[in-house]
Structure 1
Amino acid sequence: MSDNANNAEGTERPPQRSLNFEALKLHVLSHKIEVALWATRIFTVIFTLGYFIPIFGNAHSSYYKALLSNAATSALRLHQRLGTVQFTRQFVAQLLTEDSCHYLFYSLIFIYVAPITWVLLPVFLFGVLHSASYSLTLLDSLGHNAWWGARLLISLVEFQSRNILRIISMTEIVLMPICIILVLKGKAGLLTPFIYYHFLVQRYTSRRNPYTRNMFHEIRVLLESTAHKPNMPTIVRSVLLGIVNFATKLAPPQIPVPPSPTGSQ
């Protein structure tokens, strides 16, 4: 028995791979903007959760902190893509085509409006999607086998990326009538729906993210097919087709652009 025990104790165990924190440190120092973007997106996710589950602070405060974190993300992303600000017409035109500029305006629109739960959904989902993607890069710098549980969650997020982007685009569209209702209730300024309409136009004409444009098309097809059903009452058919015609007149000219698999912000 003692010999067996000694043999068992003498058996060499496979070495445990330690986390390479030095490599992580070097990665952070050499990719400061990317890491800062990852951090602001994490803060957006945390503050959004704090709004729904106000355990560590005031829900009202967490709502606006989430919007501010999203604004910081958008500003950093714009700096990363465009560099130094230039007071030229060409720079402004390029600025307005950037998705990050769209969501910087988005945060500024709703930061002066009473809290609306739907408003946080796009920034939360963008935060989850993009922070998950960069979290995988950080985990790789620690070691390819580091935190397999986190890797599993990240893979699930990336697997659902198309559905996440579709939810974001649908939320962007739904917020338009919500803005109008808020004006009627006195919870938003008269300019809010007009400014948000311009945001929606920018999302519709986005060069890198076609999901909002595609969602508008899907809604149009759904409404038209519903309106033309044989048993559809005439008044309902007229209302549905009226909505389609009104939205079509407001839509900007469609520009064909290549699709982006992960969207952008």
Structure 2
Amino acid sequence: MSESENRNEEDRPQPQPTTGLNVLTAHIGRNKIDFALWCTRFATIIFTFNYLIPIFGSGYNMYYKALLANSATSALRLHQRLPQVQLSREFLGKVFIEDSAHYLLYSMIFFYSPPVTWVLLPVFLFALLHISSYSLGLIELLGSNALGLVRMAIGIVEVQSVNLLRTIAFSEIFLFPMLLLSFFSGRSTLMTLFVYYRFLTLRYSSRRNPYTRNTFGELRFLVESYAQNPSCPSVIRNLVSKLVAFISRLAPPVITAEQQ
């Protein structure tokens, strides 16, 4: 090979690696907010585990740290969705359409209340769901065969994603009667009930996540099916009918994307 051919070979761009630690580091550098979201969601998971099984620090403190991590996740996600802040009624309306704003409100509701383990279930499951898909992308950057056990765990989460979303919706709904009982026992306030009811109406109206609305429909169908059973006492049947009618009147109108 001549000297000129050698020079041409050296000047030719070398193929860049598509996987490896350097590629992962470069990806994180280009997607700082996405990686920050991964970190806050991972923190939510760790703090929830530490609340249930106190290994590092006080379980009481871990409860509020999990809510704080969820607040950070919600705030970052809201910033991604609405980067330009405006002081207007229209912008405020856009904020409360976003699911991330709903869960920012959720964290604020319970941050100054006594710990209720059930409260952490939705934020934990949401963190688990959202961290899984992004984690798989990060692992792919390390290599196609990297972290096989973690890949299997992520696969299980993704297969069960619909069931996990339905579980989140059930936990959101059943938390309200739990708060009602807590109010009568002196563990929650009327303000907590009022703001949480507002949170539920926002979740019911969500355009991106219909699971809470669908779950309300499933529960109504189950309750009405039981009430219509001939073996159901008439007193209970009438009570169920009035209760369903009352709850249905409280349901907010749902505005779909086609209607806007």
Normalised to the residue count of structure 2, the TM-score between the two structures is: 0.90
Structure 2: distance between partners of 1:169 and 1:257: 21
| 1:25-72 alpha-carbon deviations (Å, 9 max, x no partner) | 001100000000000000000000011000111111000000000000
1:120-199 alignment runs, 5 A limit: 120-199=120-199
Following TM superposition, the consecutive aligned residue runs of length 4 or more in structure 1 with deviations greater than 2 angstroms are 254-258
1:232-243 alignment runs, 5 A limit: 232-243=232-243
Match of 2:39?
Answer: 39
Query: Residue 96 of structure 2: SS of its match in structure 1?
Result: helix
Name which of structure 1's ranges 86-95 and 157-166 shifts more when overlaid on structure 2: 86-95
| 1:8-40 alpha-carbon deviations (Å, 9 max, x no partner) | xxxxxxxxxxx7100010011000000000000
1:203-214 alignment runs, 5 A limit: 203-214=203-214
Match of 2:22?
Answer: 22
Work out whether residues 109 and 195 of structure 1, in 8 Å CA contact, stay in contact via their aligned partners in 2.
yes
1:236-251 alignment runs, 5 A limit: 236-251=236-251
Query: Residue 76 of structure 1: SS of its match in structure 2?
Result: helix
Question: What is the CA distance between 1:178 and its match in structure 2?
Answer: 1.2
Structure 2: distance between partners of 1:257 and 1:117: 35
1:49-88 alignment runs, 5 A limit: 49-88=49-88
Structure 2: distance between partners of 1:146 and 1:241: 56
The letter for the 2-side match of 1:247 is I
Question: What is the CA distance between 1:254 and its match in structure 2?
Answer: 3.1
Match of 1:102?
Answer: 102
Distance of aligned partners of 1:95 and 1:71 in 2 relative to their CA distance in 1, 3 Å threshold = same
Match of 2:225?
Answer: 225
Match of 1:8?
Answer: none
Question: What is the CA distance between 1:208 and its match in structure 2?
Answer: 0.2
| 1:113-150 alpha-carbon deviations (Å, 9 max, x no partner) | 11111100000000100011110011011112211111
Question: What is the CA distance between 1:257 and its match in structure 2?
Answer: 5.7
Structure 2: distance between partners of 1:239 and 1:149: 51
Structure 2: distance between partners of 1:133 and 1:39: 14
1:113 aligns with 2:116: no
Structure 2: distance between partners of 1:106 and 1:257: 24
Distance of aligned partners of 1:255 and 1:88 in 2 relative to their CA distance in 1, 3 Å threshold = closer
Query: Residue 191 of structure 1: SS of its match in structure 2?
Result: helix
Structure 1: distance between partners of 2:28 and 2:90: 33
Structure 1: distance between partners of 2:24 and 2:124: 26
The letter for the 2-side match of 1:81 is R
Structure 2: distance between partners of 1:251 and 1:213: 9
Work out whether residues 45 and 128 of structure 1, in 8 Å CA contact, stay in contact via their aligned partners in 2.
yes
User: Structure 1: 5+ residue runs without aligned partners?
Assistant: 1-18, 259-265
Query: Residue 190 of structure 2: SS of its match in structure 1?
Result: coil
User: Structure 2: 5+ residue runs without aligned partners?
Assistant: 1-18
Query: Residue 217 of structure 2: SS of its match in structure 1?
Result: helix
Aligned length: 242
Structure 1: distance between partners of 2:235 and 2:114: 35
Query: Residue 86 of structure 1: SS of its match in structure 2?
Result: coil
Structure 1: distance between partners of 2:256 and 2:227: 28
The letter for the 2-side match of 1:187 is R
Work out whether residues 210 and 257 of structure 1, in 8 Å CA contact, stay in contact via their aligned partners in 2.
no
Match of 1:15?
Answer: none
